[in-house]
Amino acid sequence: MGSVFRTEAASAPERATRLRETIEPLVAIQRRFSRTVPVSQEIDAGLPYRGLPLGCIHEVRSSGLACGIAFAAMLAARISSPGGQIVYVASDRTLYPLGLLAYGVQPERLIHVVVRRPLDLAWATLEALRCPQVDAVLAVVKIADLTLCRRFQLAAESHGATGFLLTDVVSRATTPVASVITRWQVFPIPAPPESTFEEPCWEIELSYCRGGRPGRWNAAWRNGRLEPLASKPVRRAGLLHPNTLAG
């Protein structure tokens, strides 16, 4: 960007062309991520797209997957097209649909796919992302390389489904840096004394965002939306909550 201002000697039309060249990719990015869903008022303000962009791949990290599934399910439930399905791909049958009701996911929309091998997981996720009648794909991944993430991204872009890669920090699931559009980390935090168990409190960290800045918010899930909590800093020991390691 600096080059535009450094070349003082250039004529006005040249400068205009260069400016246009600089702006066009930015506009293209904006257009590419024009379809969004709101996360919450505060978080949307921190995102460059004014919401979570659809038709791309997001990663949600959590410990033990519980908060990650809840967060992704909440976002997937907001992507609603008539008859649109939510596909959950995992290697086990532990998902409990009654727990997802609180996050707005109707179990009729859910398709649960059980895979045995990582190869099948990648294949099933790609197939689901390419289906126009699928709104969102939640995939529990153990390991994903840059090529695979790129293929997920291309599949999602081509047909408009949104992919959520759910990774578990306890089992050290990894995805490469900058392979996804946004990377979230969701961890539970102690609730204020007046709240009940129906209102989980999370620390939501946006650790990577393409074209945006990272951020961190404390929020409670209340009445079907994320409400901000007084963001008193929570002392955490590194990335992992040692005390949430269980099961």
Partner 1 sequence: MRQRFLCLFFPRLGIDRLERQNPQRRSSAFAVVREERNHLYIAAVNDPAKDAGIRPGARLADARTLLPILDIVLDDPEADEQLKQSLVEWCDRYSPLAAHDGPDGIVLDITGCAHLFGGEAALLEKIQTLLREMKFHVRGAIADTVGAAWALARFSKQGVVTREELTNALDPLPVKALRIACETAARLDQVGLTAIGHLRRISRDSLAARHGPGVLLRLDQVLGLAEEPITPYRAPAPYRAGRTFAEPIGTAAAIERTVLDLLRKLCTRLEKEHRGARLFNLDCYRVDGSVVRRQVRTSKPGRSVTHLMRLFSERTSSFDVGFGIEIMVLSAADIGTSAPVQMTLPHCGDSIEKDTSLDELLDRLGSRLGFDRVCRFQIRESLLPESSTEFVPVTNALPSSACWPENRVRPVRLIEPPAPIEIAEIIPGKSPVQIRIGRQLHRIVRAEGPERLTPEWWRDRPSRWKTRDYYRIENQRGARFWIFRETTWSGERWFLHGHLP
Of 39, 75, 79, 128, the one binding partner 1 (CB under 8 A) is 128
If you compute the radius of gyration of the chain from its CA atoms, what whole number of angstroms results? 20
171 binding partner 1? (CB under 8 A): no
* Amino acid sitting at position 54: L
Stretches 2-10, 34-42, 112-120, 148-156: which one binds partner 1 (CB under 8 A)?
112-120
Phi-psi bin for 45: left (phi > 0), alpha (psi -120 to 50), beta? alpha
Rounded to whole angstroms, how far apart are CA atoms 151 and 147?
Answer: 6
- 243 lies in the binding site for partner 1 (CB under 8 A): yes
User: In the 3-class helix/strand/coil scheme, how is 156-181 assigned residue by residue?
Assistant: HHHHCCEEEEEEECCCCCECCCCCCC
- Tokens for 155, please give them: 């599949």
Shortest Cβ distance from residue 50 to partner 1 (Å)?
26
State the minimum distance, in angstroms, from the CB of residue 247 to partner 1: 6
Instruction: Tell me how far, at minimum, the Cβ of 234 lies from partner 1, in Å.
Output: 8
Q: Tell me the C-alpha distance between 79 and 128, whole Å.
A: 15
- Extract the tokens encoding 161: 């489904």
Exposure class string for 135-170: b at 16+ Cβ within 10 A, else e: bbbbbbbeebeeebbebbbebbeeebbbbbbbbbbb
Binding residue for partner 1, selected from 10, 29, 66, 154, defined by CB under 8 A: 66
Nearest-approach distance from CB 236 to partner 1, in angstroms = 8
Binding to partner 1 (CB under 8 A): which residues in 35-64?
A: 64
Q: By CB under 8 A, is residue 170 in contact with partner 1? A: no
Nearer to partner 1, 202 or 217 (CB): 202
What are the residues binding partner 1 (CB under 8 A)? Answer: 64-67, 69-71, 73, 83, 85, 93-103, 106-108, 110-116, 120, 123-124, 127-128, 131-134, 187-191, 196-198, 200-202, 221, 234, 241-247
